[in-house]
Amino acid sequence: MGEQNYGIDSKRLEQYAHDIRTIHDMGVEIAIVIGGGNIYRGVQAEKTGIDRVQGDYMGMLATVINGMALQSALEKAGMFTRLMSGFKIESVCEPFIRRRAVRHLEKKRIVIFGAGIGNPYFTTDSTASLRAIEIQADVVLKGTRVDGVYSEDPEKNPDAERYSNISFQDVYQKGLSVMDMTAFTLCHENNLPIIVFDMNTSGNLTKLIAGEEVGTLIT
């Protein structure tokens, strides 16, 4: 949503497409899981009197809307893409089939995973972790609005310590907030490293892929 209060900011979308195009041209196989918080979060449901399960499905549909927007921006920038959904919405995207997703990646298409895993009570983080494991990704890149993992919330405490490297065990012991525990444990148990970085600073993704120290590496 960029600087807006909700919805899709075209400038932010263009920046993401540009950054993704840069690493795509470096030969990286890219799969993207995108959230829907700029439109609707399932956890909002209880506050509005909507059933939580119903709210989660609404949130999953929001991720499909964002996925379609990102797909359009990527294709406008000259890339080939496939949007895959956790449940069937055949008019706009393919259902998720693991072997098909892997084949798309092998053909250098950018794969966008929408609609979560297709079930309520699972977050975007859990979807990212599960899909990464299923397609045998090398790393999960968690793009946020902060530049790594901190000892405390840096937006509340400017003196919070930023970690450049940290272990899964230390994250548990220090009670740090990286992603929801289901997602984090999936990565830990499958030895899948996570890099948390600021995705809203153009060029960070390229630096990260080039091996520069960007964000926080969790192993």
pLDDT digits (tens, 9 = 90+) for 96-126: 999 999 999 999 999 999 999 999 999 999 9
Domain that holds residue 191: 138-219
Q: Concatenated DSSP letters for the chain?
A: -TTSSSS--HHHHHHHHHHHHHHHTTT---EEE---TTT--GGGHHHHT--HHHHHHHHHHHHHHHHHHHHHHHHHTT--EEEEESS--TTTSEEP-HHHHHHHHHTTPEEEEESTTSSTT--HHHHHHHHHHHTT-S-EEEEESSSSEESS-TTT-TTPPEESEE-HHHHHHHT--SS-HHHHHHHHHTT--EEEEETTSTTHHHHHHTT---SEEE-
pLDDT band at residue 47 under the 50/70/90 scheme: confident
> Among 137, 160, 189, where does a domain finish?
137
Is the domain of 125 the same as that of 162?
no
Final residue in a domain of this structure, among 137, 168, 184: 137
pLDDT in tens, 10-39: 999 999 999 999 999 999 999 999 999 999
- The pLDDT, as a whole number, for residue 212 is 95
Write the CATH number for 59: 3.40.1160.10
Output the average pLDDT for the chain: 95
Q: How confident is the model at residue 89 (pLDDT cuts 50, 70, 90)?
A: very high
Residue that is last in its domain, among 137, 161, 186 = 137
Residue 45 has pLDDT above 80, yes or no: no
Q: Kindly indicate the confidence band of residue 205, based on its pLDDT and cuts at 50, 70 and 90.
A: very high
Same domain, 99 and 30: yes
pTM recorded for the entire structure: 0.94
Based on the domain organization, do 144 and 67 belong to the same domain? no
